[in-house]
Amino acid sequence: MAHPKRKISKTRRDKRRTHYKASNSQIATCKITGENHLYHRAHWYEGKLYYRGKVLVDNSELAEE
């Protein structure tokens, strides 16, 4: 059986076991599209993948062909 090398403190253990978690995820609004999305996450809008105001993937061109 595996044994921990160091004792886990009661505080650290209790933080993991609690049902109270951090507050709701923060929502950002894209300056280009006006869509709401999670911070530090890319989001799709009208066939394009946006991240930090720039287009990463443009699937709208593929759908037209």
**pLDDT band, very low/low/confident/very high, at 6 (cuts 50, 70, 90):** very high
Check: CB of residue 30 under 8 Å from CB of residue 45. yes
What is d(CA 56, CA 48) in angstroms, rounded to the nearest whole number? Answer: 7
- pLDDT tens, 10-47? 999 888 887 776 566 688 889 999 999 988 999 999 99
Strands (E), the chain: 27-29, 36-38, 43-45, 48-51, 54-58
Stronger pLDDT, 60 or 43, i.e. the higher one: 43
For the entire predicted model, the pTM comes to 0.55
